[in-house]
């Protein structure tokens, strides 16, 4: 039977010391962050994911955002190379988690790459060229996965931290975008669906079959998703957003036969 695994890590006590690029620092309510993470884990379980928790890492403020140190595909997991030293310290725990399930490849200096910059649409990967991911990182990713039949397209990111902060695949070749933050025209061959302009943070959605987990508080965007036939699951993520993360950032999803 196929196992659908979601790797997650609970928010640590140091999350208030997280890195911030496009947001001003606001106080993070740790209890609320923990409750929001519990609700997120519960949504994953309800939607058929086997939730595997990585060890808590209080010494790494951003470690709750497990998606960034890895790009996990069906055939391979490419261990990324975050742009900051602090986030590179999260790598060993992701290598240990993914190693039993996937062949591992690595991004090496001078390349930098973060999983939050990778939007996968079938065999096409759109990769943000951002403050965290550079051209060398994208070229190395392409070299690892082109032989497996993946195309890699670079997409300049200027308005937000990662490509996935402003765009996610919502199935059937459709990409949910916040065009104030990312260039919607870059998603060649995809249909783009705009978030409501008043709901900037709703472009980051986790796709699970015909279901999507989206940050709560985006009623207009959710209505657009429902109109497309998607089952929408809203989870409050205000405290993660204060740390400049959101729904996809909190999990690494793989399937194992
Ligand atoms: C950082 O700056 O690295 C964290 N504070 C936020 C990372 C969010 N991750 C993501 O968008 N994939």
Tell me which residue has its CA closest to atom 12 in ligand 1. 116
Rounded to the nearest angstrom, the distance between the alpha carbon of 55 and the centre of ligand 1 is 19
Give the span between the Cα atoms of 177 and 205, in whole angstroms.
10
Residue 74: left if φ>0, alpha if ψ -120 to 50, beta else—which one?
alpha
Which residues are within 8 A (CB) of 199 and not within 5 positions of it... i.e. 6 or more apart? 217, 218, 219, 220, 221
In testing the pocket of ligand 1, which one of 62, 115, 166 has its CB within 8 Å of the most ligand atoms?
A: 62
Give the span between the Cα atoms of 85 and 81, in whole angstroms.
9
Q: Which of 42, 90, 46 is nearest to 64 (CA)?
A: 90
Looking at residue 120, what is its pLDDT? 98
Low-confidence ranges of the chain (pLDDT < 50): none
Looking at residue 104, what is its pLDDT? 98
Give the span between the Cα atoms of 65 and 251, in whole angstroms.
7
Tell me which residue has its CA closest to atom 8 in ligand 1. 245
Looking at residue 232, what is its pLDDT? 98
Q: Which of 144, 117, 151 is nearest to 21 (CA)?
A: 117
Ligand 1 lined by 62 (C-beta under 6 Å): yes
C-beta of residue 203 within 8 angstroms of C-beta of residue 166: yes
Looking at residue 94, what is its pLDDT? 98
Looking at residue 117, what is its pLDDT? 98
In testing the pocket of ligand 1, which one of 57, 68, 86, 133 has its CB within 8 Å of the most ligand atoms?
A: 68
Give the span between the Cα atoms of 111 and 75, in whole angstroms.
22
Beta strands in the chain (DSSP E): 3-8, 50-53, 70-72, 76-79, 103-106, 118-121, 124-129, 151-156, 167-169, 174-177, 191-194, 206-208, 211-215, 231-235, 252-256
Q: What is the pLDDT of residues 146-167, one digit of tens each?
A: 999 999 999 999 899 999 999 9
Task: Indicate the CATH number for domain 3-256.
Answer: 3.75.10.10
Give the span between the Cα atoms of 110 and 101, in whole angstroms.
27
Q: What is the pLDDT of residues 94-115, one digit of tens each?
A: 999 999 999 999 999 999 999 9
Tell me which residue has its CA closest to atom 3 in ligand 1. 19
Count CB neighbours of 180 within 10 A: 14
Looking at residue 243, what is its pLDDT? 98
Pairing verdict, β 3-8 and 206-208: unpaired
Which residues are within 8 A (CB) of 90 and not within 5 positions of it... i.e. 6 or more apart? 57, 60, 62, 63, 66, 68, 69, 82
pTM of the model: 0.97
Q: Which of 87, 90, 91 is nearest to 57 (CA)?
A: 90
Looking at residue 233, what is its pLDDT? 98
Looking at residue 86, what is its pLDDT? 97
Looking at residue 237, what is its pLDDT? 98
Looking at residue 38, what is its pLDDT? 98
């Amino acid at each position: 039977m196929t196992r659908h695994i979601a790797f997650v890590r609970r928010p640590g006590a140091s999350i208030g010391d997280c890195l911030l690029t496009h947001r001003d620092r606001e106080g993070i309510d740790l209890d609320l962050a923990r409750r929001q993470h519990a609700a997120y884990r519960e949504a994953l379980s309800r939607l058929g994911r086997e939730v595997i928790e990585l060890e808590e890492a209080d010494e790494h403020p951003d470690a709750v955002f497990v998606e960034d140190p890895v790009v996990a595909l069906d055939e391979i997991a490419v261990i990324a190379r975050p742009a900051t030293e602090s986030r590179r310290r999260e790598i060993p725990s992701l290598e240990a988690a993914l190693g039993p399930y996937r062949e591992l490849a690595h991004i090496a200096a001078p390349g930098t790459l973060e999983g939050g910059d990778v939007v996968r649409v079938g065999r096409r990967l759109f990769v943000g060229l951002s403050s965290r991911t550079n051209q060398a990182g994208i070229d190395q990713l392409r070299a690892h996965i082109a032989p497996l039949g993946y195309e890699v397209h670079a997409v300049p990111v200027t308005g937000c931290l990662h490509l996935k902060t402003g765009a996610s695949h919502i199935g059937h070749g459709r990409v949910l975008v916040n065009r104030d933050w990312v260039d919607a025209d870059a998603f060649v061959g995809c249909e783009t669906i705009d978030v409501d302009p008043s709901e900037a943070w709703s472009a980051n959605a986790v796709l699970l079959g015909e279901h999507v987990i989206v940050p709560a508080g985006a009623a207009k965007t959710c209505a657009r998703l429902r109109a497309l036939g998607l089952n929408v699951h809203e989870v409050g993520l205000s405290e993660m957003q204060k740390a400049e993360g959101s729904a996809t950032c909190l999990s690494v999803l793989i399937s194992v036969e």
